[in-house]
Amino acid sequence: MFIKNLPHKTVERLSQYRRSLLMILSKEKTHVFSHEIAQMLHITPVQVRRDLMLIGYSGNLRKGYDIKELIELIGKIIDSERGQRVAVIGLGNLGKAIISYFKGKRSKLAIIAAFDINPEKINRVYDGVACYHINQMAEIIKQNNISIGIIAAPAQQTAEIAEALVLAGIKGILNFTPKALNVPPFVYLEEYDMITSLEKVAFFAKKNDERFK
Amino acid sequence: MFIKNLPHKTVERLSQYRRSLLMILSKEKTHVFSHEIAQMLHITPVQVRRDLMLIGYSGNLRKGYDIKELIELIGKIIDSERGQRVAVIGLGNLGKAIISYFKGKRSKLAIIAAFDINPEKINRVYDGVACYHINQMAEIIKQNNISIGIIAAPAQQTAEIAEALVLAGIKGILNFTPKALNVPPFVYLEEYDMITSLEKVAFFAKKNDERFK
DNA sequence: TAATATTTGTTTAATTATTCACATTGCTAA
DNA sequence: TTAGCAATGTGAATAATTAAACAAATATTA
Ligand SMILES: NC(=O)c1ccc[n+]([C@@H]2O[C@H](COP(=O)([O-])OP(=O)(O)OC[C@H]3O[C@@H](n4cnc5c(N)ncnc54)[C@H](O)[C@@H]3O)[C@@H](O)[C@H]2O)c1
Ligand SMILES: NC(=O)c1ccc[n+]([C@@H]2O[C@H](COP(=O)([O-])OP(=O)(O)OC[C@H]3O[C@@H](n4cnc5c(N)ncnc54)[C@H](O)[C@@H]3O)[C@@H](O)[C@H]2O)c1
Whether residues B89 and B188 fall in one domain: yes
Assess if residue B174 is contained within a domain.
yes
Confidence band for B5, pLDDT divided at 50, 70 and 90: confident
Question: Of A76, A93, A165, which to mutate for an interface test with B (greatest number of B Cβ within 10 Å)?
Answer: A93
Assess if residue B206 is contained within a domain.
no
Whether residues A71 and A98 fall in one domain: no
Assess if residue B2 is contained within a domain.
no
Nearest residue of B to residue A100, measured between CA atoms: B93
CA distance B37 to B48: 7
**Residue B213: is its pLDDT beyond 70?**
no
How many beta-carbon contacts under 8 Å exist across A and B? 186
CA distance B173 to B162: 8
Confidence band for B208, pLDDT divided at 50, 70 and 90: confident
Q: What's the whole-number average pLDDT of chain B?
A: 95
Which pTM does this prediction carry? 0.96
Residue among A100, A195, A205 minimizing CB distance to B147: A205
Last residue of a domain, one of A77, A96, A112: A77
Assess if residue B71 is contained within a domain.
yes
Q: How far is the CA of A7 from the C1' of C9 (A)?
A: 19
pLDDT tens series, chain A, 213 aa: 777 789 999 999 999 999 999 999 988 899 999 999 999 999 999 999 999 999 999 999 989 999 999 999 999 999 999 999 999 999 999 999 999 999 988 889 999 999 999 999 999 999 999 999 999 999 999 999 999 999 999 999 999 999 999 999 999 999 999 999 999 999 999 999 999 999 999 999 998 777 666
Task: Say how many domains are in chain B.
Answer: 2
Q: How far is A58 from chain B (nearest CA, A)?
A: 23
Whether residues B55 and B110 fall in one domain: no
Whether residues A120 and A164 fall in one domain: yes
- Across the interface, whether the CB atoms of B196 and A19 are under 8 A apart is answered yes
Domain with residue A38: its CATH number is 1.10.10.10
Q: How far is A165 from chain B (nearest CA, A)?
A: 14
- Residues B107-150: tens digit of each pLDDT: 899 999 999 999 999 999 999 999 999 999 999 999 999 999 99
Assess if residue A21 is contained within a domain.
yes
What's the confidence (pLDDT) of residue A75? 96
Interface check B80 vs A, CB under 8 A: yes
- Residues B61-104: tens digit of each pLDDT: 889 999 999 999 999 999 999 999 999 999 999 999 999 999 97
**Residue B23: is its pLDDT beyond 70?**
yes
Assess if residue B38 is contained within a domain.
yes
Domain of residue B15, residue span: 8-77
Q: How far is A48 from chain B (nearest CA, A)?
A: 16
Q: Taking CB atoms and a 6 Å cutoff, what residues make up the pocket around ligand 2?
A: A 97, 100-101; B 89-95, 115-118, 121, 134, 152-155, 157, 161, 176-178, 192-194
Assess if residue B210 is contained within a domain.
no
What's the confidence (pLDDT) of residue B107? 83
Assess if residue B187 is contained within a domain.
yes
What's the confidence (pLDDT) of residue B207? 85
Whether residues B171 and B88 fall in one domain: yes
Q: Ligand 2 centroid vs B88 CA: distance in angstroms?
A: 10
